[in-house]
Structure 1
């Protein structure tokens, strides 16, 4: 892939703090317009990588290219830095200001001129659904509203690349859903988004590609579709009104059944199954024929969290 065609391209990117290597020879490629999810345990190097991509942290060695231009932490290439929007997980809000004045302050820092500044503030407030709160003091907002306000601040200058470090941490399900909807809108207008999160169900819904980090290295980087095709097994949830032991005995005789997990409080099994739809239909027919009182039988795929835990376990072993 030609570097100029990529939103992000890193080469041998390394960050070392004394004896600790936080990011180790990382090679990352992100296509324009993607929502790229960054996954990994605490200490994997995700935040350090984000900080280097945002030109906040200087690499020890290696290079970063944003839309074909090399990114440096010095004062060079200010137009390149204007393409970046960075939302760290600990950026403070000035809670004594009201929402409009807060955004107006940052729009001035981004050199957004009047009358465009006023129009742009109105646009981002509408996007994050805070128009009705424009005169409200920030300290009166809920946690979810504050996070959406932080996102509004980050996109005021209309960046091409948005870097979000744990943006939904601590938010309730409704607030997370609202945040996801805003990200989807930003992607629809062509913005590239790199997002790290421990809420893997959110990433599964948002992302086109994912990267999995472990001890500073990128151990997997691929499209979400490819990841599911390679690593996601079909699973069947089987609930019986009878004895689980009898159900397990019958499953042993079916070749496509690989292993299972007991869901004891539901009197159910979660079965890893290597067959397709026809074989799963045969399994159901077989169990009924053998007199197993089936109360529930439905097929699903391993989710992103299951895949990540499986990969993490493989790396650990």
Structure 2
């Protein structure tokens, strides 16, 4: 049975004068997915997210949110209530307290009492700002402000969350806190589209990724499928003995596609095409050849390596 789609676009195109920001884009995001959008600056990620959030009119093409079409030249109020959109430059009102800021947006979304107060408490607890409810926004750290922005984005319980570079400029601890909140929302079944330059965060959060280049969606797949197709396995091997002897032994194995010595170490990074059985055979043969191993472990190329490889392929 086919999965329900939270987002579907057909031939989505956005042109600014002579600049084509998004070109003939077909995108599908299943309900409940966390979809990561990757691409360099100028790839069209923000324009795409703005169109999905009904903040930007497409030049041509169609957008469907949970099966309902986003109508051009309409305000789409019912659809917008189902969306939560966090742009990378949304202003906070520094003079307001945390509680008053959230209460203001809850009233804009027409949340009635007692649900409104209950929702404010729940959301502040989720973003770990309950202790700051009476603090002025001006006194918050950057990470707290970003968590407050997320709270404002989900106050009305949207079914689709659109996050544009939400961890930009945050320190590692603030990024980790933000990541943990996204995981809670994912477990609650919310569909999330998130763009980020921090690919390690996306690899940890996402079920699927899309890669954009110059307005085109050049790749869209589950993370699992992307790793299976594009991530080469590597084996890291280190020895106490001669690197020449280790290299000579590596050259005897058909599953070894190549290797490189990590400069200044006794460590070799092996490009390996085999599976678990072949790597066990390689380990046994190295031991049998008397190579004094101190390290032997398998890794996979990460999302960043895949992205750079794909980008290089597009450029060549």
Paired residue total: 316
Match of 1:16 in 2: 15
Match of 2:307 in 1: 308
Match of 2:199 in 1: 200
| Equivalences for residues 238-317 of structure 1 within 5 A | 238-317=237-316
Question: Is 1:107 matched up with 2:106?
Answer: yes
**TM-score normalised per structure 1:** 0.94
Query: Equivalents in 2 of 1:40, 1:275: separation in Å?
Result: 31
Match of 1:37 in 2: 36
Change (3 A) 1:261 1:102: farther
Query: Equivalents in 2 of 1:200, 1:266: separation in Å?
Result: 28
Q: Which moved more, 1:287-296 or 1:180-189?
A: 287-296
Question: Cα deviations across residues 269-303 of structure 1 (Å, max 9, x unaligned)?
Answer: 22110112222122222223334332211111222
Question: Cα deviations across residues 216-261 of structure 1 (Å, max 9, x unaligned)?
Answer: 1111111111111222221111122344444333322221111223
Question: Cα deviations across residues 138-194 of structure 1 (Å, max 9, x unaligned)?
Answer: 122121111111000000111010000111112222222211111111122221100
Query: Equivalents in 2 of 1:150, 1:194: separation in Å?
Result: 16
Q: Give the match's secondary structure for 1:47.
A: helix
Q: Give the match's secondary structure for 2:209.
A: strand
Change (3 A) 1:5 1:291: closer
**Any stretches of 5+ residues in structure 1 without a counterpart?**
none
TM-aligned CA deviation for residue 268 of structure 1: 1.6
Match of 1:138 in 2: 137
Contact 1:187 1:193 in 2 (8 A): yes
Q: Which moved more, 1:110-119 or 1:36-45?
A: 110-119
| Equivalences for residues 48-127 of structure 1 within 5 A | 48-72=47-71, 74-127=73-126
TM-aligned CA deviation for residue 77 of structure 1: 3.0
Q: Which moved more, 1:164-173 or 1:282-291?
A: 282-291
Q: Give the match's secondary structure for 1:264.
A: coil
**Any stretches of 5+ residues in structure 2 without a counterpart?**
none
TM-aligned CA deviation for residue 18 of structure 1: 1.3
**TM-score normalised per structure 2:** 0.95
Query: Equivalents in 1 of 2:169, 2:248: separation in Å?
Result: 44
Change (3 A) 1:266 1:134: farther
Q: Give the match's secondary structure for 1:237.
A: strand
Question: Cα deviations across residues 189-213 of structure 1 (Å, max 9, x unaligned)?
Answer: 2211000111111111111111111
Query: Equivalents in 1 of 2:63, 2:167: separation in Å?
Result: 26
TM-aligned CA deviation for residue 309 of structure 1: 1.4
